Amino acid sequence: MHDGSGRIVVQNLTKQFGPVAAVQNLSFTVEPGSVTGFLGPNGAGKTTTLRMLLGLVTPTAGIGLINGRPFGQLGNPGRVVGAVLEAQGFHPKRTARDHLRVYAAAIGVPDSRADQVLGLVGLAAAGDRKAGGYSLGMKQRLALATALLGDPQILVLDEPANGLDPEGIAWLRTFLQSYARSGRTVLISSHLLAEVEQTVDQVVIISRGQTMYYGPLDHLRSRQQGRVLVQPSDVGALVGALREDGVTAIEQLPDGRIAVGGVDAKQVADTALKAGVSIYGLQEEKADLERLFFQLTNGQYAAPGQYAQPVAYQQPGYQAPPQGYQQQPPPPGYQQQYQQPPPGYQQPPPGYQQDNPYGPQHGQGGLGGGA
């Protein structure tokens, strides 16, 4: 019926809900043996993508394949894919064990499996309690237990960390990682990178229905660079002097400061001294993954006019940008942020605009050397 590979392939998936382009030409592959995070802010299209993958929503275009087949052609899909799409509508008066037994019967596994999966998710002692009295975190565990009933090769979980306390998140991390290490496939969605950062090996980051990054989390981490935030007496003079010194990763911040990448604070101070520019503030900022995530998903740190260039596309081996990417309108609020100079902004000297002081990396979402 299927190829047994454990691979998930999403090919050019597109879903249009009337005027809403929920998912646009999305492509990625999830390999077995690792945990893949499917990340994006609220409304990015994660749930719609997963629902298309699981045969619950018909794509406008493209296809989602599990083990080389569309979900509907998997035979007994409950034995191949375990999925949790949202906090499930458990019958509130039914005990967790009874709930699991109903589902076990539906996919043809013995009743005894209900107790096994209760144990797996840490609910063994609460199996006789009614699901209606469960906390949100316990409901998440019960939903996961339901997904595990068929001992599936593939787990697809939508926001599984929602409602879990720190101990629960740590438990989930260990559980999913060991599940993947046993050669199985795990795809989990989240709108918070920090929530899954320590759990996932690969990430697919989407925004407004389009792929922004697709690849190992380690590659994304390695692109992080710190930057120096500086408040000079004369922005144009300092930018010019930095450029003369070969520094190109310079970005004007909305608060009037400039951010300089690829240098340390001493270098910036030395250049300013040489150029006769006073420094009113100097701060070294360590980049973090969360900021990179924001850059990729809403462009709020990106340069005017060319926000959120997907970093993956600058690396070999990644997929091409989705069609129509360039035409994508800026996010709400973006224009406003840059239309007016920030308070304290100093007009650059003549010629400053023509000779783009931010350098060639300006417009790459402030990423890497551009930040």
Ligand X SMILES: Nc1ncnc2c1ncn2[C@@H]1O[C@H](COP(=O)(O)OP(=O)(O)OP(=O)(O)O)[C@@H](O)[C@H]1O
- Residues at the contact surface with ligand X, assessed by CB under 6 A: 17, 20, 22, 40, 42-48, 191
The order of strands in the sheet holding 35-39 is 81-84, 154-158, 185-190, 35-39, 202-207, 210-216
Euclidean distance between the first and the last CA atom of the chain, given in angstroms as a whole number: 49
How many angstroms separate the CA atoms of 249 and 360, rounded?
Answer: 8
Residues 311, 220: Cα–Cα separation, whole Å: 8
Of the pair 24, 364, the CB lying nearest ligand X is at 24
Burial class (CB in 10 A: 0-12, 13-18, 19+), 330: middle
For ligand X, which is the closer residue by CB, 22 or 149? 22
What is the token pair recorded at 228?
């120096």
Q: What is the CA radius of gyration of the chain?
A: 24
Q: How far is the CB of 40 from ligand X (least distance, A)?
A: 5
Minimum separation from the CB atom of position 190 to ligand X (A): 8
Give the nearer residue to ligand X in terms of CB position, either 189 or 364: 189
Query: Among residues 103 and 213, whose Cβ is nearest to ligand X?
Result: 213
Closest CA to 244 of 205, 275, 209, 213: 275
Query: Could you tell me the smallest distance in angstroms from the CB atom of residue 194 to ligand X?
Result: 15
Q: By C-beta, is 40 or 59 nearer to ligand X?
A: 40
**Closest CB to ligand X among 86 and 167?**
86
Interhelix angle 136-148/166-181, rounded to 10 degrees, is 10
Minimum CB separation of residue 223 from ligand X in Å reads: 24
The nearer residue to ligand X, 44 or 172, going by C-beta atoms, is 44
Smallest gap from residue 295 Cβ to ligand X (A): 18
Neighbouring residues of 68: CB distance < 8 A, sequence distance ≥ 6:
2, 3, 5, 7, 9
- Burial class, 333, CB count within 10 angstroms (exposed 0-12 / middle 13-18 / buried 19+): exposed
Q: Min. distance of Cβ 21 from ligand X in angstroms?
A: 8
The distance of closest approach from Cβ of residue 45 to ligand X in the complex, given in angstroms and rounded to an integer, is 4
